[in-house]
Amino acid sequence: MNKNANIVEKMVLATIGHEKRQKIAIPVFSILVALIAGGIVIALLGHNPFYAFYNLLQGCGIAPKASYAGKKGMITDFMDFMDNLTPMIFAALAVAVALRSGLFNIGVSGQMLAAGFLATVTVGYTSLAAPIAKPLVVIIGILAGACVGGLIGFLKYRFNINEVVSSIMINYILEYVISFFINMYFVDPVSRQSKNVSTAARLTFTDVEVGGYKMDIPLGIILAILTVFLVRFIMNRTVLGFEMKAVGCSRTAAKYAGIKVGKNIVITMVISGALSGLAGVTYYLGYFASIQPKVLTSTGFDAIAVSLLGNNNPVGIIFSSFLITVISKGSTYMSSASGVQQEIASVITGIILLFSACGAFVRYKTGRLRDTVKERKGEK
């Protein structure tokens, strides 16, 4: 029994117990556990899990399908996937920035909705030319998201209102107020969604013919990659980034060190909200061209899993966004090709979130296990 226990301990320490490798090992472990659990559920439902997972890749243009419609192909599916990936990167960055200061921005979806709606009614329904409309959409999205995020930060700083509570309440307020205005003034009587924005205002080039294929080309993906490295620079190379980290580690210690904690909280939420705003305009005026009333996009909530899976590291978020978007985007094709319910994708994402959130606990337990093994060796 002791031998078996020792073997298990060695395996745990060799896989996820190494301190320097844990930032990568724990997320990989979370993904493997989630895929195994999802595979078991799919098998119990009477489907082939390997084929179902392959369908996820096919639905995102990463693997070829058996057949395609006219002027469609693997490249068109992949460009559509990239269009869906863009707001996810921005949303995950928004979560990561807030977590840097120990704040939990669960209101990303509401901030996305506010930015998307304001950009839609101020620019999306105008006849402005594309060179003017597209930059204006981005600017309005940043300002709208920053204002909502800043409000949450101010409520935390001035009245000590928990940001989770205020974020959730503001989500509901924005959802129903914006739905009222859409249904009263901007609704499309056929789709029952807001009227489509003009092509000039969209952050996606639609139905572009390239090499015989007709595809959508997302403009925001370039901005998303640039923003990743900008956020990384701010976090790791600036005084603001250091202060955010200090406040996130201990507000009391940061205060004694002379850091203005309240000001830092507000600035952090302004930045987080601005990133949410970028996610909103690339979603509602990029991937989509309209807003569905009384619906908050799941992107803002999936972004929590993405950020945790990427260890709140901007570069890691690129890879985790890619994975989570593959699961969510490819689930539609998986459902039609394999007959597997789309909800299985949510199960997999949820398990990834669960184990990623337990990362600190796993590091603590493996640390204790390392100490125990060292003590045994010392006794011998």
- Give the domains, in start order, of the chain with CATH numbers: 46-340 (1.10.3470)
- Tokens at residue 42, please? 């799919």
- Tokens at residue 348, please? 């997999």
What mean pLDDT is reported for the chain?
A: 91
CA distances from 333 to 65, 77, 87, 262, 342 (A): 10, 11, 21, 47, 9
- Tokens at residue 247, please? 């406040």
Single pTM value for the model: 0.92
Contact predicate 334/144, CB 8 Å: no
> Which pLDDT value is given to residue 253?
93
Helix 163-181, helix 108-119: angle, nearest 10:
30
pLDDT at 280 over 90: yes
- Calpha distance 204→226 (Å, rounded): 17
Q: What is the mean pLDDT of residues 351-356?
A: 79
> How far does CA 354 lie from the centroid of its chain?
15
- Calpha distance 96→271 (Å, rounded): 11
pLDDT band of residue 163 (cuts 50, 70, 90) is: very high
CA distances from 299 to 116, 152, 161, 316, 336 (A): 13, 20, 25, 18, 22
pLDDT, one tens digit per residue, over 130-157 is 999 999 999 999 999 999 999 999 999 9
Q: What is the mean pLDDT of residues 114-143?
A: 97
pLDDT at 115 over 80: yes
- Looking from the CA of 37 toward its CB, the CA atoms found within 13 Å total 17
3-state SS, one letter per residue, for 132-144: HHHHHHHHHHHHH
Q: What is the mean pLDDT of residues 157-164?
A: 94
- Calpha distance 134→46 (Å, rounded): 48
pLDDT at 315 over 70: yes
Q: Which residues of 225-258 are buried (b: 16+ CB within 10 A; e: fewer)?
A: eebbeebbebbeeeeebebbebbbeebeebeeee
pLDDT, one tens digit per residue, over 9-31 is 677 777 776 777 777 888 888 88
Q: Percent of the chain having pLDDT more than 70?
A: 96
The count of other CB atoms within 10 Å of the CB of residue 113 is: 29
Contact predicate 137/203, CB 8 Å: yes
Query: Of 2 and 51, which is predicted with more confidence?
Result: 51
Q: Quick one: which of 93, 123, 127 has its CA closest to 108?
A: 93
Output the DSSP codes for 298-326. Answer: THHHHHHHHHHHTTT-HHHHHHHHHHHHH
Q: Report the range of poorest mean pLDDT among 5-19, 221-235, 269-283.
A: 5-19
> Which pLDDT value is given to residue 69?
85
Residue type, 100: R
> Which pLDDT value is given to residue 1?
47
pLDDT at 2 over 80: no
Q: Report the range of poorest mean pLDDT among 195-204, 265-274, 308-317, 357-366.
A: 357-366
How buried is residue 196: exposed, middle or buried, by Cβ count under 10 Å (0-12/13-18/19+)? middle
pLDDT, one tens digit per residue, over 268-279 is 999 999 999 999
> Which pLDDT value is given to residue 9?
67
Q: Determine the straight-line distance between the first and last CA of the chain, rounded to whole angstroms.
A: 19
